[in-house]
Structure 1
Amino acid sequence: MAEAICLGELLIDFVPTVTGTGLTDAPAFVKAPGGAPGNVAVGLARLGIPSAFMGKVGADAFGHFLAATLAESGVDVSPLVFSSEARTALAFVSLRADGEREFMFYRHPSADMLFTPQEVNVGAIQQAKLLHFGSISLISEPSRSATLHAVDTARAAGCLISYDPNLRLPLWPDADAAREGMLLGLKKAHIVKISDDETAFLTGTDDLEQACKTLWHDELKLMVATRGRDGCVYFTPSFTGAAKTFTVEAVDATGAGDGFVAGLLQGVLADPTAFTDKTKLGELCRFANAVGALATTIRGAIPALPDRKKVLEFLRDQ
């Protein structure tokens, strides 16, 4: 039985074989499994948390490859459904010299966009402790209604709700639609992982603390704002704090934030009192920072996500 269910998009990232080149100049691409919720599901499984993935892929070679990849990583894919109407989503990822990336998506529509409320596995959600989702599945119907149905089902069952706004502006009709959709997901969450770029986009201010206060609502237990090389800042109803990140040789930042989310959620599931203990939460964010840092050292998202042993060895060397 899965403790955590991750819901949303599952896709193929095509990553250039060389760093520091644009899509037009890349000599070749490597196929890598990806999609933020899928990355988190694998990250959790590798860190020892029973996880499942819920969503939709094409009944094509890429869709079956993704299902097999998640299953091989220990993720329960029984809530995953296959579409004969649309193909699996693709994303071509351009890596700059600093490991940061740009995306070009192929989803017109893709199978994940066609996930319906009727395809939500209610039984799996009711047996879980946590549901994690992102904003991409809120962009269009029917996946928007399916996502909201899953979240409402999880809330009614007493699950923790984890949310990553995960801004991908080119996928939305416009900036206003993106803000509305991203805020809709945030309002239903107990745990939010958000980047400084996303707080600025949603609130119009570069003052991170003020932005997080603006986004805060009474049902939130934890909001963690990531700041890239500057680590993260965390907010609870009782206290705030910060955790430094780690210096590594970054090759590909794809999936780093998802690794951070997995590192954070595994600790929350293992010890729910981390919400109310500043020392515990600081250590947990340090662990999550380590997972995120290690996820940048190999090309591709899922291939780079570390297991618990690797994270602990890394932390011992710091």
Structure 2
Amino acid sequence: MSGLGQGRADAVLVMGEALTDLVPDEDGTLRPRPGGAPANVASRLARLGVRTAFAGTLGDDGFGRRNEDRLRTAGVELDLCGRSSLPTALAVADPGPEGTRYDFHLRDTATFELSDVSDQLERFSVVYAGGLAAVVPPASEVVLATARAAADRSVLAVDPNVRTDRTLDPESSLRRLRELCALGHIVKVSDEDARRLWPGDTPEAPCRKLAAEGRLVLLTRGADGSSAFLPGDVHVSVPAVPVVVTSTIGAGDAFMAAVLAHLVRSGVLRGGGPAALTAAQAEEALRYAAAVAADVCGRAT
């Protein structure tokens, strides 16, 4: 993986979905807010000062226009973003003490009509893939093709962000996400993701295995902090930043964006790639990401 992304602009391409979350207020009223893990990552990256392009498709409805406004306001480049006459996919959030569950309305939407942008990868030092677009057809085929190309030409960052829904085949979805993780140079999983993707193992076991194969692997544990696993059986952990939690929606995406922003801005990816990071560099990235995620958790939705 040495030399990946060298000689390219310090820019990130984010591929995936921009959908709309319907989040309940205290009185149960559902309030729409722009969402989708990749769109969240793109917006946060741009706000953190990283040149970012979003390769998704926006619907021709009020939700799609609101998603576009959010991305543009953050400073995300949309020249690779498609437009469609179809509506925007919806995710109905159901927050609870164990996290947030979602009920999805995905079919026949613009959100998963993605275009192949593999011929544009030379413009970017880092490519992000993950989210629902990685498992919902027809987007899933495009995401996989782009990820395969990016694995050879750029630094590929993967966040499987495992989701379950009655319209998704769990076996096929998990198989696709495991393939994406195997392609990635940077892989971020939550402890819940790890248990679903590799049942029967502790969350740390697959992280160590992936890192031993030459990756930077990030494991988040919510209030219990996060860890980074590097080749050579090296790993570091940092605690979560204490915060009065208002909502955890988007915190994992903010964490991922912050790690990427820190690595891009610091220039450490220009050397031997993410696997060449030192423990100290990985710890610095984790601490920065923990602070950004805590800020998201402490804000009202």
TM bin (shorter chain): 0.7 to 0.9
Q: Deviations over 1:66-115 (max 9, x none)?
A: 1121001111111111112x31111111223x593221211123212222
2:117 matched to which residue of 1?
Answer: 121
Among residues 142, 150, 155, which one is paired with 1:154 in the alignment? 150
Q: What percentage of residue pairs aligned between the two structures are identical?
A: 28
2:105 matched to which residue of 1?
Answer: 106
Cα pair 1:203 1:214 within 8 Å, conserved: no
1:1-318 matched pairs, under 5 angstroms:
3-18=11-26, 26-84=27-85, 86-96=86-96, 98=97, 100-115=99-114, 119-156=115-152, 158-170=153-165, 173-205=168-200, 207-216=202-211, 218=213, 220-238=214-232, 239-270=234-265, 271-272=267-268, 275-300=276-301
Q: CA RMSD in A?
A: 2.0
- The amino acid of 2:12's aligned partner reads A
| CA distance in structure 1 between the aligned counterparts of 2:98 and 2:170, rounded to whole angstroms | 26
Cα pair 2:156 2:183 within 8 Å, conserved: yes
Cα pair 1:169 1:175 within 8 Å, conserved: yes
Q: Aligned pair in 2 of structure 1 residues 169, 215: CA closer, same or farther (>3 Å)?
A: farther
Deviates more, 1:105-114 or 1:280-289: 105-114
- The amino acid of 1:180's aligned partner reads R
Q: CA deviation at 1:122?
A: 4.0
Cα pair 2:158 2:184 within 8 Å, conserved: yes
Counterpart of 2:297 in 1: which secondary structure? coil
Cα pair 1:200 1:211 within 8 Å, conserved: no
Cα pair 1:264 1:285 within 8 Å, conserved: yes
Deviates more, 1:67-76 or 1:196-205: 196-205
Cα pair 2:159 2:188 within 8 Å, conserved: yes
Cα pair 1:91 1:103 within 8 Å, conserved: yes
Q: CA deviation at 1:175?
A: 2.8
Q: CA deviation at 1:202?
A: 1.7
| CA distance in structure 2 between the aligned counterparts of 1:172 and 1:131, rounded to whole angstroms | 27
| CA distance in structure 2 between the aligned counterparts of 1:94 and 1:225, rounded to whole angstroms | 24
- The amino acid of 2:220's aligned partner reads T
1:314 matched to which residue of 2?
Answer: none
- The amino acid of 1:112's aligned partner reads T
| CA distance in structure 2 between the aligned counterparts of 1:6 and 1:279, rounded to whole angstroms | 27
Where structure 1 has 5 or more consecutive residues not aligned to the other structure, the ranges are: 19-25, 301-318
| CA distance in structure 2 between the aligned counterparts of 1:65 and 1:140, rounded to whole angstroms | 22
Could you state the TM-score of these two structures normalised by the residue count of structure 2? 0.88
Cα pair 1:12 1:32 within 8 Å, conserved: yes
1:313 matched to which residue of 2?
Answer: none
| CA distance in structure 2 between the aligned counterparts of 1:12 and 1:299, rounded to whole angstroms | 17
Q: Aligned pair in 2 of structure 1 residues 277, 2: CA closer, same or farther (>3 Å)?
A: closer
Aligned pairs, number? 286
Q: CA deviation at 1:217?
A: 6.3
Deviates more, 1:270-279 or 1:66-75: 270-279
1:309 matched to which residue of 2?
Answer: none
Cα pair 2:127 2:154 within 8 Å, conserved: yes
Could you state the TM-score of these two structures normalised by the residue count of structure 1? 0.84
